Amino acid sequence: MNKLRIVFAGTPKFAESYLSSLIKSKHEVVCVFTQPSKRSGRGLKFTHSPVRDTAEVNNINIRQPEKITMKETDALEDFKPDIVVVVAYGLILPKEFMSIPRFGCINVHPSLLPRWRGAAPIQRSIEAGDKLSGITIMKMVEKLDAGDIIYQEPVQITNNDSSLSMHEKFIKIGVDSLLLTLDSILEDNFMLHPQDENLVTYAKKIKKVEAIIDWENNAEKIHKKIMAFNTWPVAETKLSGERIRIHESDFKELDINGIPGSIKSTKNNFIEVFTKNGLLIIKKLQKDNSKAVSAADFINATDLKGKKFE
């Protein structure tokens, strides 16, 4: 046996990158599970997931159930998979489903488990100010993200990292980690490491209301929220009653603080805003019904004298 029959389960662009790497590898992807296509836009046309699009181009069987039932478990058995690889799928896999593949189901998770189990590990790690995250590949069990760890690779988080930049890091490192893990499973050359339940933290699902900036917080905390919520839901505030979404920022400490939300300066092509403690430096922002622009372009097009973010 020199290759694995793989069933892949995933939905967004992040997952599609892993699927593409598996298709190019020596292994055989025999079926893809992805979330159902949705109607959107004025014409209510079906929008397919990136994973479905790639599977279709490569003539791979596609299944899009709303829920994993016994019907889907029976279908999985028909494909005779050696392993199921799960990356950001979004549906719960029951025990019966996970028991079908010869080597079970493995999941690629963007955190150093047991830290940040759950729905939004990338965003929560940035928001919390973590300096280190990583890719974890684990054997799946019924409990959420609680399976034994097969492989981990650390990834550094810098002050300038956003959810978008961390996604790119996780794809670059995670794809290689996944292929390495599959080789080790194929060669029966791997170990399972139980997670320490005393170190568990949860990355709860993000709600849109969390995106509203509170200028009474310190500059570092606001900056972390902005970078964590890029690209969704995108941190927001108001300026003269109009909603402004902030995509990129930085921060610095100050000896003397002004009124939180008030604009200190628009020099050096950035918008500097007082917070409860420190200065937030806005680099990229967006008005409603407009595209995101650099702070320099925003300054040139908007009168900011005496204005205050609320």
Please list the pLDDT of the chain residue by residue as tens digits (310 residues): 789 999 999 999 999 999 999 999 999 999 999 999 887 766 667 789 999 999 999 999 999 999 999 999 999 999 999 999 999 999 999 999 999 999 999 999 999 999 999 999 999 999 999 999 999 999 999 999 999 999 999 999 999 999 999 999 999 999 999 999 999 999 999 999 999 999 999 999 999 999 999 999 999 999 999 999 998 999 999 999 999 999 999 999 988 889 999 999 998 899 999 999 999 999 999 999 899 999 999 999 998 988 899 9
38, 46 in Cβ contact below 8 A? yes
233, 209 in Cβ contact below 8 A? no
205-225 b/e (C-beta count within 10 Å ≥ 16 → b)? ebeeeebebebebbbbbbbbb
Q: Which of 268, 275, 257 is nearest to 299 (CA)?
A: 268
Residues in the chain: 310
What's the topology of domain 5-203?
Rossmann fold (3.40.50)
182, 4 in Cβ contact below 8 A? yes
Spatial neighbors of 306 by CB under 8 A, at least 6 apart, are none
Q: Is 49 helix (H, G, I), strand (E, B) or coil?
A: coil
Domain covering 208-301 in this structure, CATH number: 3.10.25.10
Domain boundaries, the chain: 5-203, 208-301
pTM assigned to the model: 0.92
Amino acid at the residue 136? T
